[in-house]
Structure 1
Amino acid sequence: MSSASQKEIVLVTGGTNGIGLDTVIYIASASPNYHVIVGARNLSKGETVLKDVQAKSSIQGTVSIVQLDANEDSSITAAAKKIEQEFGRLDVLINNAGICPETGTEQWPSRPTLRSTFETNVFGPAVLTEALVPLLKRSSAPKIINVSSVLGSISAISDHSGASSRATFPAYRMSKTALNMLTAYQYCQLKGDGFKVWTYCPGFVVTDLGRDREQRKDMGVESSETSAKGLLQIVRGERDADVGGFVARYGQKYEW
């Protein structure tokens, strides 16, 4: 078993770019007591990212990689087995991997778009979490953080005067609403075992999710590093008062 098993073990899915990568860096830079596992769909890309992260002077903790495609059950099973063999447990699961195949021009979602979006944004986190619950139960303080979006808030879209109600992306929005229900369900089922679970909105930041990175930069949109800082706060226990809820950066909390 790896010596890193003495540290707090954190798995970040979709950890090779955007918010996921920033989160890996921020957590690994926060303390030598963290070991961060980069969940990488593409192992070759992941190994390149791992070397880049390990080379950063800010890194205090340790970092490793696991091949993980949450759309594939065999990949989930293999990843869970590897984490068990190397660390014996998992302390924090950050379900960050997600997609938004829509462009924002669609008023209604197509069936293929719904299928692909729900597969990654809902089915993946649900099945992966179930597979990792036995390892999380071995932690003294297990945490699950599901990265969602305020666009999944039914309360927000029901306020027709708000900016959220004017955005389209229907398949993405529905998938994040479903992910929010997954969070509420997980907390209900697992809190008796000492689990803490949150839904987290990373905010509208510069990423490749909407294929509009340069446009977001031109708009002066904040860096995805701010999203990573918010996730680190949860990992550190600074948002424990909001456990079971829908939280965001800067201490914000949303209605479901």
Structure 2
Amino acid sequence: MASQNKKIVLITGGNQGVGYETAKNLVVSSHDYHVILGSRDPSRGEAAAKEIQAAEGVKGTVSSTQIDVTDDKSVDAAAERVAAEYGRLDVLVNNAGIVSLASPPTREVFRRVLDTNVVGALSVTEAFLNLLRKAVHKPPRLVFVSSSTGSITHASDPTSPYYNPGAVEYRTSKAALNMLMVMYYARLKPEGFLVFGADPGLCATNFTGDPASLRARNAAEPWEGGERVATVVKGEKDSDVGKVLGVYGVSPF
């Protein structure tokens, strides 16, 4: 069991990519964190947790739990396990997500992307809210991993680098996620919650299945994206609570 002195952090989709690197950043940089890697595949989650725990200079601790954000029973079971083992949660990072680069968009893919990226984030948040209310390390933090590609301001501006018709399903899901974040911010602010959107930027992860092509587009390395999300978890961006925070500052909605 993690020390009761540590901040308990759950990161969905934490066994790879930006979620993995966020977890690694937290536990390598500080003794203050115990990170739970939420993973759809339990064996991958366990392997990722062991790998991070064995990293050179690691200070915090890591474990894993099975969670499929599109499966209500899986989400509720994960919340029950965290409640039984820790009795609370200090930080929730809704990181799990999928992308589609197909063109034109399809109804089937759009439903699947929204189910994971938006409905899944709501499902996990609702399931873990009471555990966040029991946070020992106040204030409790709720982080939605978003993207500047979901900014309607950018998408409608011909001078913006995000002005293009690609990745319709993914970008629309992130615009919806930004609204979801704002709704939770308004709802939970009276309870003392800090709610954020965190944009890791374009990173050369396996998210699209082709990290090499992402590097060719000058994508950041995954550890850089993880660092950007970790700064929000650590409280380094608290002056911009309720907003989407990216590498260039606050992302317009």
Tell me how far 1:220 sits from its aligned partner. 3.8
Kept in 1: contact 2:199–2:228 (CA 8 A): no
Corresponding position of 1:147? 145
Alignment of 1:90-109 (within 5 A): 90-103=89-102, 106=103, 108-109=104-105
1:39-54 matched pairs, under 5 angstroms = 39-54=38-53
How big is the shift at 1:167?
4.5
Q: Distance in 2 between matches of 1:244 and 1:59?
A: 31
How far 1:165 moved relative to its partner? Answer: 1.1
Amino acid paired to 1:34:
Y
Q: Distance in 2 between matches of 1:20 and 1:195?
A: 22
Contact 2:205 2:222 in 1 (8 A): yes
1:78 alignment counterpart: 77
Other-structure match for 2:201: 203
- Asked if structure 2 preserves the Cα contact closer than 8 Å seen for 1:14 and 1:39, the reply is yes
What is the deviation of 1:3? 4.3
Q: 1:16 and 2:15 equivalent? A: yes
Alpha-carbon offset, residue 211 of structure 1: 1.9
- The one of 105, 112, 120 equivalent to 1:124 is 120
CA–CA separation in structure 2 for the residues paired with 1:159 and 1:78:
43
- In 2: Cα distance, 1:95 partner to 1:219 partner: 26
Work out whether residues 92 and 235 of structure 1, in 8 Å CA contact, stay in contact via their aligned partners in 2: yes
SS in 2 for 1:164: coil
Check the 8 A contact 1:226/1:249 in 2, yes or no.
Answer: no
1:137 matched to 2:133: yes
Alignment of 1:151-162 (within 5 A): 151-162=149-160
* In structure 2, C-alpha distance between the alignment counterparts of 1:88 and 1:6, rounded to whole Å: 13
Kept in 2, the 8 Å contact 1:5–1:86? The answer is: no
Give the superposition deviation at 1:58. Answer: 2.3
Give me the whole-angstrom Cα distance separating, in 2, the residues matched to 1:51 and 1:236.
23
Asked if 1:169 is matched to 2:176, the reply is: no
Q: How many residues align?
A: 251
- Give the Cα–Cα distance (whole angstroms) in 2 for the partners of residues 58 and 229 of structure 1: 16
Amino acid at match of 1:124: G
Deviation of 1:134 after TM superposition, in Å, equals 0.2
In structure 2, the gaps of 5 or more residues are none
The residue number in structure 2 matching 1:193 is 191
Relative to structure 1, the CA distance from residue 220 to residue 168 in structure 2 (aligned partners, 3 Å threshold; closer, same or farther) is: closer
* 1:94–1:146 CA contact under 8 A, matched in 2: yes
Task: Identify the residue that residue 55 of structure 2 maps to in structure 1.
Answer: 56
> What's the CA shift for 1:213?
0.6
- TM-score, scaled relative to structure 2: 0.96
- 8 Å contact from structure 1 (residues 13, 38) kept in 2: yes
Identity of aligned residues (%): 37
Partner Cα distance (1:135, 1:219) in 2 = 40
Instruction: Classify 1:92/1:153 alpha carbon distance in 2 versus 1 (closer, same or farther; 3 Å).
Output: same
Which segments of 5 or more consecutive residues in structure 1 lack a partner in the other structure? none
Give the alignment's Cα RMSD to 1 decimal.
1.2
Matches of 2:120 and 2:166, distance apart in 1: 23
